[in-house]
Structure 1
Amino acid sequence: MALGLNVQEPEETCTDQNCPFHGELSVRGQTLDGAVASTDMEKTVVVEREYDVKVPKYDRFMKRRSRIPAHAPDCLDLAEGDTVTIAECRPLSKTKSHVVVGVVADEQGGDN
């Protein structure tokens, strides 16, 4: 099933109704990239994005971050530190309106 996004369908299958690949959830609107900050909840991950905001008074930039709760389908194996792509969908709960559609890269690997 094609989502209309430039993401690869996972090899694993799942029975999650809210999976954009194997269920009936349609995606629409914006897609965002971010790092998985928390996997403590069931079927939900918190994706954290950092961006710069210009402060006109000082003519400098300051860092801001937003934390977006997103649905994690069973077919995607997600861990903290993974860089993922999330897409907007219908509201799934009070705070969740995004779903993870792909893993961009794993940030784990070595200690620096």
Structure 2
Amino acid sequence: MNKQNNQNKKRKIEGIVVSDKMNKTVVVDVWRFKKHPLYHKILKVSKHFKAHDENNEAKIGDKVIIEETRPLSKDKRWKVIKIVKKNQGEKIDEEIKSEEEMLTDEKIESDVIIENQ
């Protein structure tokens, strides 16, 4: 019963992936609001967590849920549980690249036509 209680006590937090350059590891940026003790101003505070991503599924800009786990390395104590929302920026980048390729192809074709005349 004690093990079951410990599993339920694992913290889960939501954040945004800011780096996926390491193998099976992502860096997640978690934001929270904190009230200043003296001035009572609400501050937005962020913290980076390294999390284990077994299948390298999470990419930069994805919104993920990470869960506390046993230490996996010197810095990793979290693992990615779920990708809540995929980053849409990659699709936009691909569309822009395809448009640029089309424009360069048209330019090459127009250059060939001009040379043939």
TM-score tier (shorter): 0.5 to 0.7
Taking only aligned residues, the RMSD between alpha carbons, in angstroms, comes to 2.2
Which aligned pairs between 1:9-48 and structure 2 lie closer than 5 A?
29-48=10-29
User: How far apart, in 2, do the equivalents of 1:85 and 1:41 lie?
Assistant: 18
In percent, how many aligned pairs have the same letter?
36
Q: CA deviation at 1:58?
A: 2.0
Establish whether residue 100 from structure 1 lines up as the match of residue 69 from structure 2. no
User: How far apart, in 1, do the equivalents of 2:51 and 2:36 lie?
Assistant: 30
Q: How many residues align?
A: 85
Contact 2:59–2:87 (CA<8 Å) still a contact in 1? no
What residue in structure 2 maps to residue 86 of structure 1?
66
Unaligned runs of 5+ in 1: 1-25
Unaligned runs of 5+ in 2: 1-6, 94-117
Structure number with the higher strand fraction is 1
Where relative contact order (Cα < 8 A, 6+ residues apart) is larger, the structure is 1
TM-score, with structure 2 as normaliser:
0.65
TM-score, with structure 1 as normaliser:
0.67
User: How far apart, in 1, do the equivalents of 2:9 and 2:83 lie?
Assistant: 18
What residue in structure 1 maps to residue 39 of structure 2?
58
